[in-house]
Amino acid sequence: MNYEAVIGLEVHVQIKTRSKMFSRVAAGYGHEPNTLTDPVVLALPGVLPVMNRAALDAAIKAGLMLGCEIAPVCKWDRKQYFYPDSPKNYQISQYDQPICLGGAVEIELPGPARNVMGEHRTIPLTRIHLEEDVGKLNHGAGESLIDFNRAGTPLMEIVSEPALRSAEEAFAYLTSLRALMVQGGISDCDMEKGQLRCDANISIRPVGERKLGTKVELKNLNSIAFVRDGIGHEIRRQIAVLERGGTIVQETRDYDGQTGASQSLRSKEMAHDYRYFPDPDLMPVKVDEAWKARLKAECPELPFDRQRRYQTQYQLPYTLTSVLIWDRPLAEFFEAAVAAAGPHKAQAVGNWIINDLLRELGQARIALAEVKVKPGAVAALVELVENGVVLTNAAKEIFVEMFATGDAPAAIAERRGLKVVPTDTDELEQWCRDAIAGNAKALAEFKAGKDSAINAFKGPVMKSAKGRADPKQVDATLRRLLADS
Amino acid sequence: MADAVCFQTIAVLADRLKAGELSAVELMQAVIARTRAVDPMVKAFNTCDEADALAQARASDARRAAGQARGLLDGIPVGLKDVIAVRDQPLTASSRMLADFISPYDATVTQRLKAAGAVLWGRLNLDEFAMGSSTENSAFGPTRNPWDLTRVPGGSSGGSAAALAAGAVTATLGSDTGGSIRQPAALCGVVGLKPSYGLVSRYGLVAYASSLDQIGPFARTVEDAAILLGAIAGHDPLDSTSFRTDIPDYRAVAGAAPRPWRIGIPKEYFGEGLDSEVAEAVQRAIAFYQSVGCEIHEVSLPHTSYCLDTYYIIATAEASSNLARYDGIRYGHRSRQADDIVGLYEKSRAEGFGAEVKRRIILGTYVLSSGYYDAYYLRAQKVRTLIRQDFLQAYGQVDALLTPTSPVPAFKLGEKSDPLAMYLCDIYTIGANLAGLPAISVPCGFTRAGLPVGLQLIGRPFQEADLLAIARSYEQAHDWHRRYPTIR
């Protein structure tokens, strides 16, 4: 029997703010344990929460980018359960009125080849709500220690509809979502630092069946690759259970990315009653149109929208757009260079960025923000090549030096003697004669009408010229001599 | 002489300190001597730090000598209920759970009192976590009523009321969730004010029921209460429920010439269960207001009979959540009997909390449970809105409502062993908490047995100035507040 999977993802994204969700103490990662705490974070007797508006801004911005409906009022609820990582033994969260409702994430599935665009799908969202993160337990031999540095960090929970059908779709969904959050400045989404965490609800059903199967929740998927592998593993596990004539148990399973296996954490019978109720310490906050408009203005263009624009505006090929759009600073660098070079040179600019700039960045292990090369310099280099001032090979050398020094390409070309020099006509003519004389086969082919045979003479000429001859001049001289011979 | 100083008002003491007739250290020494003499009988103090108080008094005298006195409260001993955080002092909530807890931070009201130069004196006893009406629920033993040591001082701020009535401090702060300032004020013969919800910051007040809790002053006179309120009121960025409003000079407005106020008498507050001597004292107060030209209107607050039920759903629901943090993990009592995490929670809380606290946590957990939320908590919130509307409607007709504070005068220790009987003590005070209104209890007489009786005035939201003025006009025509108990 053929089965299809039904997958919904719950993604937790830590919001990048200076201070915590409900207190003034700094938020951060990698500090000495329990240094990012204060009476509020530790839930000492008598303390009260005060909402961090920057975190609410970020959640609204995320919602606007994802096309969500923004709630007119931001309301807070207490989610109650006892656990040592939760200082108040309740978590301030949003229950019946999440800050964002609906919305969608556009995803691209893998294409038939790397250089061919894959199918796009739109995955609808259920909701996004804001809450506070919990602390971290460290279990040692005979003792458990708690680090509350993470406790109270602003956290968004982004819940998708059960609309994903495969591990690849889940992978594509997270790739899109992460890019949006990073490009919107909402989170750095570093999964190793726990800034993006994902739980998956997975069920399977026979193809054609409308009724949903029993769902299993998969937790601890702590890299995007593990999400794909873990979901793939779970789908295969469920199919195997059904094929054996077994039934799927509703449960929570823990996936271990290292071993590629999962094990049951708890079954549904232990489901919690969280006793949600509105937090009486926090007043609802009204979100008006002006507030939303201000944040809307800060939202960047979405990656796939950018891709469509590059395709229509610059006729850029997929091989270029599919690299540029996932990196907002890179795309902005590209656009600045195109603005300087002119739109008809967009592809040439794009090639320099994707090939040479990315290569140099990779070798230097630095971020784009730190590079010495400015977009205008890339435009100037393209200009030099197009105008025949330097040849492509020379330009590649120039780029490496531009990257290292930040100097203007024309200055480097001058300094390094890499400019095309108008060659002495007699000397060129002699090199051309030598080349023709040295390749009788090509001469015969050319005479027989095969025009491209002329290229066989150009290599030796260029070699004699040490690469600095003007290709147009070479071509013209060869044609004159060939016509005469 | 020492004892006379101990019963003087802030207003008088401030003048004497200013005139140099008295130093803050002398005042504090007198208060310490009085406390040592009476507290072994009254037991209003959980702890007191004599060295610290004297150091504060010396600092006050030094400021004054340097011409930098900070106003009326500079050098005045003020006691705090042991649910208000003071940096480096115990914060026990009269619970075993917090018996060894020292607060590393100041409540906002504490900071404001320190800024005003007050000398903070003593951690005052209460019903554990402010749950109760007699101060018998304290883990450290009950406080006694200075007027009759066999009787309770009321609660939950019984220590704040009794210490003041006993002359062991010049003024105090308490907290009022369902009457916990006004009822002990009435039973101890002092003034007690619960401000409008949101007027005084709750930051640093150990939470019982967040949407009802409010810190307020106990004082010998309405004028003193006005002085203290002025020092602690006003918006606080650390409390999201604190209200942005201008704070008038409460002392000045309370002292202004009397006006022909319109006073409402809610008929539902004079029914069954009201002690006849209390009723008589309150009727005489009504007659007084009539005699000075105030209009008296009978009004109706039709949802009054739902107040108690509504309160015990909302307050316990919030309490069950607010008290979840006392788990023995980060601070507070940790059981030595547990061998796993669930056991640690269960045993720490079983050992750390007293019976009434447990009762309310269980009740609150129940009313928030899945399947019961709509029937209890949500319904109670709707009734709460109706109760508030009752009051606001009455204020179309009148400036304030006048009622008894407590249906009965101080009762004997152990007399009300049935929780429901105890809950009925708050029947007249709960409405103001549910509606978020300011309310004050003012001494209005004594029973034939010599027990104080209190009169409650309930005002419009954030109109504390009017409320204090109305109360002050009564006080100026009476001398109940000049009587002091003989403690024996």
Q: Cα A60 to chain center, whole Å? A: 21
Whether B324 contacts B129, CB under 8 Å: no
List, edge to edge, every strand of the sheet that includes A90-93.
Answer: A90-93, A77-80, A277-278
The answer to whether residue B171 is domain-embedded is: yes
Can you read off the two tokens belonging to residue A447? Answer: 């005479």
Within-domain flag for B327: no
**A282 contacts B325? CB cut-off 8 A:** no
State whether residue B369 sits within 8 Å of chain A by CB. yes
Helix (H, G, I), strand (E, B) or coil at B442: strand
Rounded to an integer, what distance in angstroms lies between the CA atom of residue B216 and that of residue A452? Answer: 98
- Tokens standing for residue A206: 């026979």
> Known catalytic residues of B?
81, 156, 180
**According to the model, what pLDDT value does residue A484 have?**
78
Which tens digit of pLDDT belongs to each residue from A464-480? 887 778 888 888 888 98
Cα separation of B128 and B450, whole Å?
A: 28
Query: What is the arithmetic mean of pLDDT over B90-106?
Result: 98
Q: To the nearest whole percent, how much of chain A has pLDDT over 70? A: 98
d(CA B264, CA B286): 10
DSSP per position, A144-209: EEEE-SSTT-EEEEEEE-S-B-SHHHHHHHHHHHHHHHHHTTS----GGGTSEEEEEEEEEEETT-
The answer to whether residue B342 sits within a structural domain is no
Q: What is the tens place of the pLDDT at every residue in B151-182?
A: 999 999 999 999 999 999 999 999 999 999 99
Q: Which two tokens stand for residue B54?
A: 């004297």
> Which helix (H) or strand (E) is A7 found in, with range?
strand A3-14
Indicate whether A269 pLDDT > 70. no
Write phi, then psi, for A130 (nearest 5 degrees).
-100, 145
Residues B243-268 pLDDT 10s = 999 999 999 999 888 899 999 999 99
Query: Average of pLDDT values for A425-448?
Result: 88
Q: Under 8 Å CB-to-CB from A139, ≥6 apart: which residues?
A: none
Residue B249 in any domain: the answer is yes
Interface contact flag, B240 A282, Cβ < 8 Å: yes
A450-454, B186-190, B292-296, B381-385, range with the lowest pLDDT: A450-454
Helix (H) or strand (E) run with residue B357 in it: helix B355-367
Residue range A389-417: mean pLDDT, rounded:
92
A282: which chain B residues are within 8 Å (Cβ-Cβ)? 240-241
User: A270 pLDDT band (50/70/90 cuts)?
Assistant: low
Q: What is the mean pLDDT of residues B67-76?
A: 97
Please state, in angstroms and as integers, the Cα–Cα distance from residue A463 to each residue in A434, A460, B395, following that order. 12, 5, 102
Q: Which residues pair with B191 in a beta bridge?
A: B219
Local confidence band at B2 (pLDDT 50, 70, 90 cut-offs): low
The predicted model gives A19-38 an average pLDDT of: 97
Residues A93, A164 contacting (CB under 8 angstroms): no
Ranking A323-337, A405-419, B301-315, B347-361 by mean pLDDT, the lowest is A405-419
* Residues sharing a CB contact under 8 Å with residue B429, sequence separation 6 or more, in sequence order: B176, B178, B179, B182, B183, B194, B405, B406, B439, B456
pLDDT of B262-304, one tens digit each?
Answer: 999 999 999 889 999 999 999 999 999 999 999 999 999 999 9
B181 within 8 A of B208, measured Cβ to Cβ: no
Could you list the residue range(s) of the whole structural domain that residue B159 is in? Answer: 2-263+397-482
Residue A398: CB partners within 8 Å, gap ≥ 6? A381, A384, A390, A409, A412, A413, A416, A418
Maximum alpha-carbon separation in chain A: 101
Does residue B240 have a cis bond before it (omega within 30 degrees)?
no
The nearest CA of chain A is from the CA of B211 a distance in Å of: 6
Compute CA distances A470 → A95, A387, B86, whole Å.
Answer: 71, 11, 85
Contact B91 A46 (CB under 8 A): yes
Residues 6+ apart with CB under 8 A from B312: B363, B423
> Total structural domains in chain B?
1
Distance of residue A406 Cα from the nearest chain B Cα, in angstroms: 49
A131 Cβ contact list (under 8 Å, min separation 6): A21, A79, A91, A92, A93, A94, A155, A156, A157
Is the Cβ pair A45, B240 closer than 8 Å? no
Helix (H) or strand (E) segment spanning residue A367? none
Say if B293 is an interface residue toward chain A (CB within 8 Å): no
Q: Do A275 and B321 touch (CB under 8 A)?
A: yes
Q: Extract the tokens encoding A207.
A: 């193809």
Residues B119/B57, Cβ–Cβ less than 8 Å: yes
What is the average pLDDT value for chain B, to the nearest integer? 97
Which of B89, B91, B238 to mutate: most A Cβ within 10 Å? B238
Q: How many CB atoms lie within 10 A of CB B105?
A: 19
Q: What tokens appear for B205 in the block?
A: 């007040």
Query: How far, in Å, CA of A391 to CA of B351, rounded?
Result: 85
Q: What is the pLDDT of residue B463?
A: 97
With beta carbons less than 8 A apart as the criterion, state whether B361 and B316 touch.
Answer: yes
The CA distance from B203 to A38, in Å, is 14
Give the model's pLDDT for residue B238: 98
CA distance B365 to chain A (A): 8
Q: Do A89 and B325 touch (CB under 8 A)?
A: yes
Checking DSSP bridges between strand A136-140 and strand A143-147, what pairing results, if any?
antiparallel
C-alpha dihedral over B192, B198, B203, B206, to 10 degrees?
50
Residue A5's φ and ψ, nearest 5 degrees, are: -95, 150
Q: Answer yes or no: are the C-beta atoms of A43 and A87 closer than 8 Å.
A: yes
Q: Which of the four pLDDT bands, split at 50, 70 and 90, describes residue A271? A: low
Task: Give the model's confidence band at B6: pLDDT under 50 very low, under 70 low, under 90 confident, else very high.
Answer: very high
Residue count of chain B: 488
H-helix segments, A373-439: 375-386, 392-405, 409-416, 425-437
What stretch of H or E contains B220?
none
Two structure tokens written together for A460 = 């030796």
Interface probe, candidates B201, B203, B331, chain A, greatest A C-beta count within 10 A: B203
Q: What's the rounded mean pLDDT across residues A111-125? A: 95
pLDDT tens profile A48-96: 999 999 999 999 999 999 999 999 999 999 999 999 999 999 999 999 9
Query: In this structure, what token pair is assigned to residue A98?
Result: 């999440």
Instruction: Establish if B290 belongs to a structural domain.
Output: no
Q: By mean pLDDT, which of A255-269, A368-382, B234-248, B443-457 is the weakest?
A: A255-269
Q: By the CB < 8 Å criterion, does B281 face chain A?
A: no
pLDDT for position A60: 98
Query: Smallest Cα–Cα separation from A197: which of A217, A177, A220?
Result: A220
The percent of residues above 90 in pLDDT, for chain B, comes to: 95
| pLDDT of A391 higher than 50 | yes
Closest CA to B285 of B304, B265, B300: B265
Domain assignment of residue B196, yes or no: yes
Chain B residues closer than 8 Å to A275 by CB: 320-321, 365, 368-370, 373
On whether residue B176 sits in a domain, the answer given is yes
Cβ-based neighbour number of residue B296 at 10 Å: 15
- Number of CB pairs < 8 Å for A and B? 97
d(CA A375, CA A373) in angstroms, rounded, equals: 7
Q: Does B385 touch chain A (CB under 8 A)?
A: no
Which whole number is the average pLDDT over B97-118? 98
Q: Which domains does chain A have, with CATH numbers?
A: 3-291 (no CATH), 301-416 (no CATH), 425-484 (1.10.10.410)
SS3 B45: strand
- B304 occurs within a structural domain: no
**Average pLDDT estimate for B45-54:** 98
**B51 CB-near residues (< 8 Å, 6+ apart):** none
Q: Are B158 and B462 in contact (CB under 8 A)?
A: no
When pLDDT is cut at 50, 70 and 90, the band that residue A356 belongs to is very high
Within 10 angstroms of residue B83's Cβ, the number of other Cβ atoms is 33
Looking only at the bridges linking them, the beta strands covering A120-132 and A154-160 are antiparallel
Q: Mean pLDDT, to the nearest integer, of A198-213?
A: 94
CB under 8 Å, gap of 24 or more: what pairs does B345-351 form? Answer: B345/A82, B348/B97, B349/B97, B351/B96
Contacts of B328 in chain A (CB under 8 A): none
Alpha-carbon gap: B239 to the closest alpha carbon of chain A (Å): 6
C-alpha to C-alpha distance for B275 and B71, rounded to whole angstroms: 42
CATH of the domain at B156: 3.90.1300.10
Cβ neighbors of A362 (< 8 A, separation 6 or more) are none
Q: What is the pLDDT of residue A324?
A: 97
Amino acid at B162: A
ipTM: 0.97
Which strands make up the sheet holding B400-404, listed edge to edge? B45-47, B119-124, B77-81, B171-175, B215-219, B191-194, B439-446, B452-459, B400-404, B262-266, B295-299
Q: pLDDT tens, A211-235?
A: 999 999 998 788 899 999 999 999 9
The confidence band for A423, taking pLDDT boundaries of 50, 70 and 90, is low
Which chain A positions have a beta carbon within 8 Å of B93's beta carbon?
45
pLDDT higher than threshold 50 for residue B1: no
Confidence band (pLDDT; 50, 70, 90) for A463?
Answer: confident
Q: Considering chain A, what is the average pLDDT of its residues?
A: 93
Q: How far B408 CA sits from the closest chain A CA (Å)?
A: 32
CA dist., res. B386 & res. B435, Å (int): 9
